[in-house]
Structure 1
């Protein structure tokens, strides 16, 4: 039986990384590195989202609410179809692992 091996890159934080590592019918597993002062585009979640803060500090607002701060080691579960604004909220590089499970539908309305 073969084992698939996947690699994370860009972990030094020298540049912004938003990279799908695994994207199949079961889940989407993404690696993100956000240097100080950067963030993700404001968007609606297209699945239930699990975010692990590996390094740094995550600052996130859901549904236009107040920003909340989550340090390294935090794991968040975000609901489907919620507006989110996620940013590097600290002085250091922010590294996230983002898992969407189940994987978003390929239907353009749902994706």
Structure 2
């Protein structure tokens, strides 16, 4: 078999799944309920964030918080301060791709 198969969970509970981590990219699946999110941090690579369901509330660097609905893809540059939250009742589900893969 040439291909390698990876599965995403179908959970509604908070999850940060490291689906694929190799030398080329990092592929993560994230699920957040209301009030959940990531600690504020700086991106360690170029980040491509796809909203699968729910609404993403995100603050980047010093700009105000913007909201993005399902079906939106964001491209976030390397070394951008990120504040990722779900402030809504609906579950937030994201796919996050980091490319190139962070070195550390």
Q: What is the TM-score when the length of structure 1 is the normalising length?
A: 0.89
Runs of 4+ in 1 over 6 A off after TM superposition: none
- Once residues 85 and 103 of structure 1 are traced to their aligned partners in structure 2, the CA distance between those partners, rounded to angstroms, is 20
CA RMSD of aligned residues (A): 1.0
- Once residues 88 and 71 of structure 2 are traced to their aligned partners in structure 1, the CA distance between those partners, rounded to angstroms, is 14
- Once residues 62 and 21 of structure 2 are traced to their aligned partners in structure 1, the CA distance between those partners, rounded to angstroms, is 29
Unaligned 5+ runs, structure 2: none
- Once residues 49 and 58 of structure 1 are traced to their aligned partners in structure 2, the CA distance between those partners, rounded to angstroms, is 15
* Superposed CA offset, 1:71-104 (max 9, x none): 0000000000010001113220000000001101
**Structure 1 position 12 matched with structure 2 position 11:** yes
SS in 1 for 2:84: strand
| Aligned residue runs from structure 1 range 1-111, under 5 A | 1-9=1-9, 11-13=10-12, 15-106=13-104
- Count of residue pairs brought into register by the alignment: 104
Q: What is the TM-score when the length of structure 2 is the normalising length?
A: 0.95
Q: CA deviation at 1:3?
A: 1.6
Whether the 8 Å CA contact 1:64–1:84 is kept in 2: the answer is: no
